Amino acid sequence: MDPDLEIEEIGPDGYLVAIYQVDAETGQMRSMMPQNQIQSRTTLFIRLTSPFLPLGFPDSVTADYIPYQIYDSLQAFASTIAGLLASRAVFVGMGVGSEGASLVTTMLLYIAQETMGRVATILFADRFSQRIEADVKFYRFFADIVNDTALLLDCISPSMPTAARAMTLGVSNACRALCGVAGGSSKAILSTHFAKSGNIGELNAKDGSQETVISLLGMWFGGIVVSNVHGTFETWCCLLTLLGSHLWCNWQAVNSVRLMTLNLERASILFEGIGRDQIRDPVEVGASEGVMTRYKSLNSNYAGGLRRLTIGATFGELVSCVLRTDDRHKGLENVQYLLHLFRQEEYILWIDPTTAKAVMLLREGISGQSQAKACFHFFRLMQRSPAPWTREILHGSNQDSTGLSHEPVDPLVQAERTLDQVNTQWDSLSQRLKQAGWDLDKTMLETRRGFRFRRLPHSRGKKDR
């Protein structure tokens, strides 16, 4: 029968479960069960992993989900065992099993620990919560560093006097609080990245199931370790080995992530390649991205180096930078012209040639696309290139690398030239970046919330310079 209509039925787990064929001439319908799919679905592996992996795996998650979860599970296993050794040290310090132990003292110590931990949670969240999204890989690894610091403090606490032990355990609990804020926030952001099908809730739930099993296995194995490791030297050897393994696995997990959104570090790597007509995808950029050495690529892509880039700068900072370069009257004219130059943009960019400092003003409600465009404009202006004006602005020199003499270029003129180039190239470039896998709508350049400007309807810049 040559069917005029064929329907494939997909189950909730994303696998093909049935095929229906309808013949228009006879009106007959035939259903078939794909035997190969039935066999694959009934394998022991699928049955065992279905409670821990999202439906449709691996098609429902990004490619970097698998290596990340493998290393994340290994680090959780090592951390659980190390945590048991640290807990034993805390119990010893509190006098568990000792006839002279005081219940009141233990309760007061517990209250002091919890107080320091909760205060640390509030302060850290207030100070750093806005930075986590832009530097999610750094803060994911930072969470494990402070967690291991807490375990080390727990283990050295029994050897201290009562007052010092109380302070040490308080600092340890504060470190755990920092780990909770940084780790929880960064994991939520990474879940958004991994969930290709928008299945964030399911992915988080399955991730919780994975952590439960790994922690349980770690507790069982850790119970054996704690029961057989008693001496101080043996305990520290075991603990340091576990903590080293924990940090190494975390480093590998974070390093395997290939984020598809732009921050300043990834933008530096991406746009540096565009200067050589190379469109790098998230996998290539992620392989070059630093974890602890943030903005290493950013600092290496400038001719002479940039002392400071302020994103979300105030209007006063812009005026101050412009007025440094000329007399006050001409400087104010330049400010007016700069406002007119960027009147159609959601940002204003200026580089001070005398101090090698740059300011980027962002308009209220600026989109991720415009942030990416502003960043591209910045790198067009500043990244290392054969254009002699780049070195002139940074060094105040009138010679390029070939030794040829050039007249110094007005930074305002250069801003106008590069803006024209960016406007000409951006539409086609942004399409190429999207095709390479980049999500420009979620660009996050700021590590903290900066200032925004609002252009009033009656404000007009000077039209002619």
Map residue 175 onto helix, strand or coil.
Answer: helix
Other C-beta atoms lying within 10 Å of the C-beta of residue 443 = 24
**Cα(191)–Cα(187) distance, integer angstroms:** 6
What DSSP designation does 326 have? S
* Cβ(214)–Cβ(80) below 8 Å: yes
Q: What is the pLDDT of residue 101?
A: 56
Residue type, 288: S
Q: What is the pLDDT of residue 152?
A: 94
Nearest CA to 356 out of 390, 400, 319, 312 is that of 390
Q: Is 407 helix (H, G, I), strand (E, B) or coil?
A: coil
CA-angle at 50, arms to 45 and 56, nearest 5°: 105
Q: Are 162 and 104 in contact (CB under 8 A)?
A: no
Task: Determine the pLDDT at residue 232.
Answer: 85
CB atoms within 10 A of CB 446: 18
Q: Which long-range CB contacts under 8 A does 413-417 form with residues at least 24 apart?
A: 414/381, 414/389, 415/338, 415/341, 415/349, 415/350, 415/351, 415/381, 416/341
pLDDT at 103: 73
DSSP letter for each residue of 54-69: -TTTTTTB-TTHHHHH
> What's the predicted TM-score (pTM) here?
0.81
Inter-residue contact 182 to 142 (CB < 8 Å) = yes
Neighbours of 330 (CB within 10 A): 12
Which phi and psi angles does 217 have, rounded to 5°?
A: -65, -40
Residue found by looking up tokens 């696309």 in the block:
369
Helix, strand or coil, per DSSP, at residue 418: helix
The single-letter code of the amino acid at 255 is N
Instruction: Confirm if 257 and 116 have CB atoms less than 8 A apart.
Output: no
Residue 123: the pLDDT is 94
Rg (CA), the chain: 29
Sequential pLDDT tens for the chain (465 residues): 455 778 877 766 666 778 888 777 776 777 777 665 545 545 566 677 778 888 878 888 999 999 999 999 999 999 999 999 998 888 776 666 555 556 777 788 888 889 999 999 999 999 888 889 889 999 999 999 999 999 999 999 888 887 888 899 999 999 999 999 999 999 999 999 999 887 898 899 999 999 999 999 999 999 999 999 888 889 999 999 999 999 999 999 999 999 999 998 899 889 888 877 789 999 999 998 888 866 555 555 444 456 678 899 999 988 888 886 556 667 788 888 899 999 999 999 988 777 778 899 999 999 999 999 999 999 888 753 334 333 333 333 333 433 433 445 677 888 888 999 999 999 999 999 999 999 999 888 888 888 999 877 665 544 444
Q: List the domain boundaries for the chain.
A: 4-50, 64-257, 262-390+409-453
Is residue 199 a contact partner of residue 55, using CB atoms and an 8 Å limit? Answer: yes
| Among 353, 348, 347, CA closest to 321 | 353
